[in-house]
Amino acid sequence: MQATIPAGLDRKEAEVYLRLDPNRLPKHIAIIMDGNGRWAKRRHLPRVAGHRAGVASVRSTVETAARVKIPSLTLYAFSEENWKKRPKSEVDFLMGLLCRYLKQEVPTLNKNNIRLEYIGRLHELPPVVQKKMEEARQATSTNTGMVLTLALNYSARSEIVDAFRSIVDAAARNGGLDHMEIDEESVSRHLYTRHLPDPDLVIRTSGEMRLSNFLLWQLAYAEIYVTPTLWPEFRGVHLLEGIAEYQKRERRYGGLADHDHHHASKARS
């Protein structure tokens, strides 16, 4: 049976989409957007030109993900390390770019029924940026389609530290530390991502083989897809290619694959 192609996909995207099983799409895709600096350097442009070019990649990726009905997409926009290790001029540029993106994209997010959320130590961002973030969040808060989460001033280790602090605080307010129960479920409930399922697929652009302190707890069983494409050149079609690769893999969650299991039981009998 011919799959119906979602409205709005271009020809290349439609070609890849037809190779996908629409019933086995990832429920949550996380993307480490890497390569803006390298893209700019290859063109003898300042790094900030790479960040500016990367906005078009965000737009294309977000719209395609929403069109094919991915429930959740999380983008690693700005790490806590970026904040501390980049020159102030670059950080200021990124903050301005974020504010402009939020202002410009709200109509598109609403048109695509996308709800915007954020994770990270948001209280450390400049107040003017926090205000713009909250305005955009409010403006999309009644949308019921894809959840787009931007990781800003984010660090997975900080998130886990904050989760433990939050668990201890909750216990202290609720009858004392003797009542504190810590298990995987309670840790997950105190993470920034409590509104999301764990990612099934994490995509990293520009060929680097690192998780870079991104969603370390949540990515325990995620499939990892690394593409050499630099982020400013990444588009919706590349996202669909990542999903096609994901669908070729067998997800075991630490268990045996069916055929392995079959051989193992035959060997025992």
Q: Which residues span the domain enclosing 64?
A: 11-155+197-250
* Residue 218 belongs to domain with CATH number: 3.40.1180.10
Q: Is residue 124 part of a domain?
A: yes
What's the number of domains the chain is made of? 1
Q: What are phi and psi of 121, to 5 degrees?
A: -85, 80
Annotation says 34 is catalytic = yes
Which pTM was predicted? 0.91
Name residue 147's beta-bridge partners. Answer: 72, 115
Q: Is residue 111 part of a domain?
A: yes
Burial group, residue 247, by CB count within 10 angstroms (0-12, 13-18, 19+): middle
Q: Is residue 188 part of a domain?
A: no
Residue 36 has pLDDT above 90, yes or no: yes
Give the active site residue among 10, 21, 23, 34. Answer: 34
Residue 264 has pLDDT above 70, yes or no: no
Burial group, residue 144, by CB count within 10 angstroms (0-12, 13-18, 19+): exposed
Mean pLDDT of the chain: 91
- Per-residue model confidence as pLDDT tens digits over 167-199: 998 888 887 777 788 899 999 999 999 999 999
Q: Is residue 4 part of a domain?
A: no
User: Quick one: pLDDT at residue 122?
Assistant: 96
CA distance 2 to 25: 17
Our CA angle for 62, 64, 67, nearest 5°, is: 110
Annotation says 23 is catalytic = no
- Per-residue model confidence as pLDDT tens digits over 43-78: 999 999 999 999 999 999 999 999 999 999 999 998
Q: Is residue 62 part of a domain?
A: yes
Q: Is residue 113 part of a domain?
A: yes
Nearest residue to 13 via CA among 238, 253, 242: 238
Contact 76, 30 (CB under 8 A): yes
Q: Is residue 182 part of a domain?
A: no
- Per-residue model confidence as pLDDT tens digits over 117-175: 999 999 999 999 999 999 999 999 999 999 999 999 999 999 999 999 999 988 888 87
Give the active site residue among 10, 36, 82, 213. Answer: 82
Question: Which two three-digit tokens encode residue 220?
Answer: 């325990």
